[in-house]
Amino acid sequence: MSTSENTLTKEQIKHFEQRFDTRKALLLDEIRQVLARSKSEHDVELLGGEGDPGDAAAESLLRGITEAEVVRDVEEVRDIVAARQRLAAGRYGLCINCGEPIRFKRLDAYPTAKRCYTCQVSHEERRAASPYTS
């Protein structure tokens, strides 16, 4: 494993910190809105009584979509928190597998990237070969 140094400039790090803060605030707001809307819809359902089977199926589908949206957003918030921890430790922008710097272009496209492109491809190939491992 390499002990490469982070090659990002202070300005680039500040750029990513601002992007993390902005994105995290947006995601937390979306999570709050989805959960509030879901609770409101559930309250209306309780007051409205039984609908027809088609209504129940549509409601079930929408509930599943809502849950998937929240799970996706929560996972992204966790990725942001982990990236901020790597920043605080001076390891942001370094691959967690090989320790080499992650190209700025990759980080700019995917700021929470924790692996360089080569290690990410290998990671995804291993996961595809064995979907029950992380």
- What per-residue confidence (pLDDT) applies to 1? 44
- Those residues whose C-beta lies under 8 Å from the C-beta of residue 17, and which sit 6 or more positions away, are 84, 87
Q: Is the pLDDT of residue 76 over 50?
A: yes
Name which residue leads in pLDDT, 80 or 56. 80
Q: How confident is the model at residue 69 (pLDDT cuts 50, 70, 90)?
A: confident
- The whole-number pLDDT of residue 59 equals 66
Q: What is the pLDDT of residue 2?
A: 47
Measured distance CA(24)–CA(85) in Å, rounded: 14
Structure token pair of residue 82: 């982990």
Say what the pTM is.
0.74
Dihedral angle over CA of 115, 120, 124, 127, nearest 10 = -40
Model confidence at 49: pLDDT above 60? no
All domains of the chain in start order, with CATH: 10-129 (1.20.120.910)
